[in-house]
Amino acid sequence: MENYITLTIDNREVTVPEGTSILQAAHKAKVNIPTLCYHEDLCVAGNCRICVVEVEGSRTLTASCSTPASNGMVIHTSSPVVRNARKDIIALLVSEHNTQCTTCYRSLNCELQSLAAEYNVDNTRYLSVLKPNIQVDRSSWSIEKDDSKCVRCQRCVRTCSELQHVNAITVAHKGKDMKISTFMDLPLNEVVCVNCGQCVIHCPTGALTERRYYDDIWEAIGDPNKHVVINTAPSVRVALGETLDYPPGQRVTGKMVAAMKKLGFDSVLDTDFTADLTIMEEGSELLLRLKKAFRDKENVALPMISSCSPGWVKYIEHMYPEHLDNLSTCKSPQQMFGTLAKTYYAHKIGVKPEDIVSVSVMPCAAKKYEANRPEMKASGFQDIDAGLTTRELGRMIRQAGIDFGKLEDEKFDSMMGDSSGAAVLFGATGGVMEAALRTVYEIVTGRPVPFKNLNIMAARGLEKIKETSILLKGCKPEWDFLEGVELRVAVAHGLKNARTIMEQIKRNESPYHFIEIMACPGGCIGGGGQPIPTNDAIRKKRIAAIYAEDEGKEIRKSHENPEIVQIYKDFLPEGPLGKKSHKLLHTHYTKRNRY
Amino acid sequence: MTLVESTVTELTLKYGKERRQLLPILRGVYEKFHYLSDESMVEVARQLDISSAEVFGKATFYSFLSGSPQGEFVIRICKTIVCDMKNKKLIVDTLENLLKIKMGQTTHNRKFSLCYTNCLGLCHKAPAMLINNEAYTDLTPDKVRQIITSYKNR
Amino acid sequence: MKLSLKKVDLILGSYSNEEYKILFEMLSRNSDEILKDLIESGLKGRGGAGFPTGLKWKLCAEAVSDDKYIICNADEGEPGTFKDREILDRVPKRVLAGMALAAKVTGAAKGYIYLRAEYSFLVNKLQKELEEFHKILKSNNIKFNVEIFMGCGAYICGEETALLQSMEGKRGEPRNKPPFPTTTGYLGKPTVVNNVETLVSAFMVCRIGPEEFKKLGIQGSSGSKLFSVSGDTPKPGIYDLEFGLSLAEFVDEFGDGDTKAVQVGGASGFCVPRKKFNETTIGYRGGLTGDSLPTGGSMMLFNSSRSMYNILRNYLDFFAEESCGQCTPCRIGCQQLKNGIEAVKKGEKDPEYLNQLLKLSDTMKITSKCGLGQSVANSFSSIVTNFTEEMIY
């Protein structure tokens, strides 16, 4: 049985379970203690010392994040000695900081800036100890690293290690020279980094940000010779609102479309369309692999693993290059979109593909890298010209002076703008699995998946690894070899959990046929390009919005999307996995170094 | 197998491949090559199956694990207060003149490196220095000249 | 000259080949008795922090675990401190005997000596001693094994949790406490980390008995302590002195007739000016009136030819380099103190700025993560307060 303890925080008694930190206990007493190195996703570091409080009887102040509350403690969180100490610590951080806040991308969304403002810290209290000549690392397509804005809270390092198990960044050197560094302080594009951008959404300041490309987009929009198409990923519509003063979990699909039209894009399309297309191709690929395994008894790589998440793809390329065959050959929805924008779409509207600029808005930092992978030129041109984050789109809307709240809802343009509810699910962990099962089961049995209201609850939620199985019964004659097969599937999100799955595969102990892996905790709704802050409470709200969006759709299965039916009829007549699909919609992978 | 690979292999055979053996292994690599090259850190990372950035982060914490090539004999002169008071400067000048290099540098023949170090715990016999693992105390310019001559002949 | 200091010869004296024989006599006693003696003696840690040794062992003994560790902290990095080196060099059997006692009391089967890189020259000798030690343990059917773990040059690893991190292959960054090493130490197991001298003192307590031990020193600071004496003194070296000595007596004995200040406890200790020699007593905080000072035993004497500004700048240089860098007050604070006094000296900042820096040093004392971070500002505040003119002109 849990033991409870009682303590006094700012003259208020509070009872909490033993082991609760002072910070959490204060939270329960409705007392807010400022923090900086603390992040609810990560283990406690206790190194910024902002959250110090006074514990009666203690010679020193106490870090509330790292100290367990104990019975009878009497705590003051805002006494003069605490406030002075905090103010001093903030002043120290400011003295180490590049304080050109006016030109910082994170201005007004910076935790150090807020603290300095709250405590009215001026930056003349101490001499500047900012190191001179710090170069911003812009080597990566995805992530920008500016050490002059680093507060050394190590949230990025803990993220890269605890959540992602990549360890691309580390704490290096000590004392005054201590800094966050890559191996040998190499540029980010030369080290084992998967570009997931989780460091970016966990960074309290502007030290780690996404590479921004919206200025290029403005240029393209302003160029009368360019036809600029934009597509938005499923999870953007449930998070964009947060960058425009809406609370988390608000769906803003219609307003988002309206805003993009106002921004001047020639066509506003939906990545959800290619998400549906992905299900057609990936589902067919899964069935082909099952056919080879069960009917032809061929040696085929199973489990098959999803390939929509470019952070995950680069991770497996680095960490498990020997298992690249397990990866679905399907391109991600973004890249399928790009290819089709410059082939199918260009042809239909009669614009030369070289005049098309294809832009995507993604919840993701890795998509920027993916767009620039050398093999992503199936259309004969760079398929996606630029990938923006949700945050960048929010920034563009603000720059344009659009009163977002007052916009009337609008609809995506046609041809590649229609989508099913299944496609929307891609935004949350488990969504690709759920969407795939809705289609695959129906292809095999001719009946809808046997779940109430098509909702596959076992694939949903924030559990580290989710697994379920579906018994294939009453299969159509052409799939009779699957009769009685229990299709076993798993879903993992966050690369640390992906590693668990991969180690199982490596040991040859994986019981699954199909696995969905997303690089980011929570899936795309928690992606590295999403609004800051992101934490589990916010992830859950965005996830709820995804499921609401699905339920609100008339069509909820990818294969029933009329534009999907249309494209296979008009452009991909051989159907999924046909020659043309193979050329345009599938890809190959590269073995990379693990160390 | 390269020399780096075989060296790290020997060390992991001796100490094991657990994370907690990182420091002894890095020390072993340092003793063999007189510094930690990128290649050697990657090899340690590979054999311990941790990221090379992690190895780098740990290595740079420790001042005896230099990341740049050092001479066969590394001369560390204590710069902490008592040695400083007892004319460390004169010892440094003598060494710089003798070896024709400045503090922080290595001779062309890769025989000697000169660097400062923090308190050697030999304050009662200041000024003091280490040459690799040997301690030399109560230094005078004459004494330093003799010591260096003996090392030059090694 | 009349000697008013009480010199003893406990730690290093009458060392013989009988040490292990004496150890085995002790090991035949029951653990509770040993622990009782230790607690009774009032022995406190000799590394500087002064935690009661008996209590530390008791906490580790009470922790439930199959694996426990005894670690001898020989990462002696505090500027001006060299007694542990001397102990390891001259009476290594007593260090190992102390570890064996701790192992017996706590139930540990494995021990490590964390030896700083700068003391590599001691390794061969220690290794030989360990061989003999293990042989004798084996012949007496005692399961305890000690290994040397080499540091790689980091002052902060003298902090016990930083030392543990370092041993686990991590950066030597102090951990959050609680939990303490006695329950969650090396590899997460209950661990006793004791300074070299503490282990020898523990052995000597059991050897002469707590009553004899308590006759040395004063109430609250029992026993004697090795002092590392250096700087402007005609007789630098190691001295075993009873606690409770006044600094005036000390300077009488060791000064060169012109002593203007004594740095007690190394760079992270306090600088005592001449005018306070009489009122300063050396012992652990708490049991004494007046300015009692905790100490790892470093005593650096400065005569009137020394610039206190240079001395302070030397310390601050040291701390700015050797801070682990993880926590804000210590990482940036050390740089601010150093740059600050330089700016005042050069006239780039008003002398008033020293007051701002004194406030900062107060903040560092109460907000830094580890004991070392909390004490790095001691030298700053004591030097700046007592020698303000020297900082300015």
Which residue segment(s) compose the domain that C232 sits in? 225-303
Domain annotation covers residue C9? no
pLDDT of residue B154: 86
Asked which of A355, A378, A406 is the last residue of a domain, the reply is A406
* Structure confidence by residue, pLDDT tens digits, A439-492: 999 999 999 999 999 999 999 999 999 999 999 999 999 999 999 999 999 999
Q: What is the mean pLDDT of chain A?
A: 97
pLDDT beneath 70: ranges in chain B = none
Catalytic residue among A298, A322, A375, A478: A375
DSSP classification of residue A344: I
Token pair belonging to C149: 């773990």
C-alpha to C-alpha distance for C317 and C313, rounded to whole angstroms: 6
Contact list, B52 vs chain A (CB under 8 Å): 183, 191-192, 595
Q: What percent of chain A has pLDDT over 70?
A: 100
pLDDT of residue C4: 59
A128 shares a domain with A67: no
Q: CA of A183, closest CA in chain B: separation in Å?
A: 4
Average pLDDT over residues A129-134: 96
A535 shares a domain with A397: no
DSSP A187-237: -GGGSS-----HHHHH-SSSSEEEPP-HHHHHHHHH-TT-EEEEEE-GGGT
B77 shares a domain with B146: yes
Domain annotation covers residue A593? no
Are A5 and A16 contacting, i.e. CB atoms less than 8 angstroms apart?
Answer: yes
Average pLDDT over residues A79-91: 98
A200 shares a domain with A133: yes
Average pLDDT over residues A397-412: 98
Domain annotation covers residue C6? no
Are A435 and A558 contacting, i.e. CB atoms less than 8 angstroms apart?
Answer: yes
Task: Please state the domain count of chain B.
Answer: 2
* Structure confidence by residue, pLDDT tens digits, A322-340: 999 999 999 999 999 999 9
Residues 6+ apart with CB under 8 A from A183: A170, A191, A192, B38, B41, B42, B51, B52, B53, B55, B56
pLDDT of residue B64: 96
Domain annotation covers residue B64? no
C175 shares a domain with C30: yes
Task: Please state the domain count of chain A.
Answer: 4
Asked which of A406, A432, A459 is the last residue of a domain, the reply is A406
Domain annotation covers residue C77? yes
Helix (H, G, I), strand (E, B) or coil at C345: helix
Average pLDDT over residues C172-201: 97
pLDDT at A14 over 50: yes
Task: Please state the domain count of chain C.
Answer: 3
Average pLDDT over residues C261-284: 92
Determine, for residues A594 and B46 on separate chains, whether the beta-carbon distance falls below 8 Å. Answer: yes
For chain C, say whether B153 makes contact (Cβ under 8 Å): no
B91 shares a domain with B54: no
A309 shares a domain with A163: no
Domain annotation covers residue B36? yes
Average pLDDT over residues A35-40: 98
Domain annotation covers residue B66? no
pLDDT of residue C218: 86
pLDDT of residue C2: 36
Query: What is the value of ipTM here, to two decimals?
Result: 0.97
Read off the CATH number of the domain in which B136 is found.
Answer: 3.40.30.10
Q: CA of A126, closest CA in chain C: separation in Å?
A: 7
B95 shares a domain with B138: yes
The two beta strands, C191-195 and C69-74, are: parallel
Read off the CATH number of the domain in which A109 is found.
Answer: 3.30.70.20
Question: What confidence category does residue C287 fall into, taking pLDDT thresholds of 50, 70 and 90?
Answer: very low
Question: What confidence category does residue C1 fall into, taking pLDDT thresholds of 50, 70 and 90?
Answer: very low
Asked which of C278, C303, C328 is the last residue of a domain, the reply is C303
Q: What percent of chain C has pLDDT over 90?
A: 89
B131 shares a domain with B93: yes
Are C272 and C261 contacting, i.e. CB atoms less than 8 angstroms apart?
Answer: yes
Q: CA of A42, closest CA in chain C: separation in Å?
A: 15
Catalytic residue among A37, A156, A199, A308: A308
Residues 6+ apart with CB under 8 A from C285: C50, C292, C293, C294
Residues 6+ apart with CB under 8 A from A357: A217, A220, A226, A227, A228, A229, A385, A386
> Is A524 designated active site?
yes
DSSP C201-220: HHHHHHHHHHHHHHHSEETT
Which residue segment(s) compose the domain that A13 sits in? 4-78
A365 shares a domain with A319: no
What count of CB pairs under 8 Å joins B to C?
A: 119
Domain annotation covers residue A483? yes
Closest Cα in chain A to C360:
A88
Residues 6+ apart with CB under 8 A from C308: C261, C271, C302, C383, C387, C390, C391
pLDDT at A341 over 60: yes
* Structure confidence by residue, pLDDT tens digits, A136-155: 999 999 999 999 999 999 99
pLDDT of residue C288: 44
* Structure confidence by residue, pLDDT tens digits, A550-588: 999 999 999 999 999 999 999 999 999 999 999 999 999
Residues 6+ apart with CB under 8 A from A28: A14, A16, A20
DSSP classification of residue A463: -
* Structure confidence by residue, pLDDT tens digits, C327-353: 999 999 999 999 999 999 999 999 999
A116-to-A89, A93, A154, C136, C390 alpha-carbon distances in Å: 10, 9, 19, 63, 34
The two beta strands, A4-9 and A179-181, are: unpaired
pLDDT at A47 over 70: yes
C-alpha to C-alpha distance for A56 and A59, rounded to whole angstroms: 9
Catalytic residue among A111, A242, A281, A370: A370
Asked which of A188, A210, A232 is the last residue of a domain, the reply is A210
B91 shares a domain with B40: no
DSSP-assigned beta bridge partners for residue C194: C72
Average pLDDT over residues C179-185: 97
Are C226 and C83 contacting, i.e. CB atoms less than 8 angstroms apart?
Answer: yes
* Structure confidence by residue, pLDDT tens digits, A89-117: 999 999 999 999 999 999 999 999 999 99
For residue A568, count other CB atoms closer than 10 A to its CB: 18
Question: What confidence category does residue A122 fall into, taking pLDDT thresholds of 50, 70 and 90?
Answer: confident
Closest Cα in chain A to C327:
A47
pLDDT of residue C289: 42
Determine, for residues C369 and A49 on separate chains, whether the beta-carbon distance falls below 8 Å. Answer: yes
Domain annotation covers residue A83? no
Average pLDDT over residues A518-541: 98
Contact list, B60 vs chain A (CB under 8 Å): 172-174, 181
C-alpha to C-alpha distance for C351 and C367, rounded to whole angstroms: 25
pLDDT of residue A1: 62
Determine, for residues B124 and C237 on separate chains, whether the beta-carbon distance falls below 8 Å. Answer: yes
pLDDT at A353 over 90: yes
Domain annotation covers residue C4? no
Token pair belonging to A249: 């979990």
A480 shares a domain with A383: no
Residue A511 preceded by cis peptide, ω within 30: no
* Structure confidence by residue, pLDDT tens digits, A287-304: 999 999 999 999 999 999
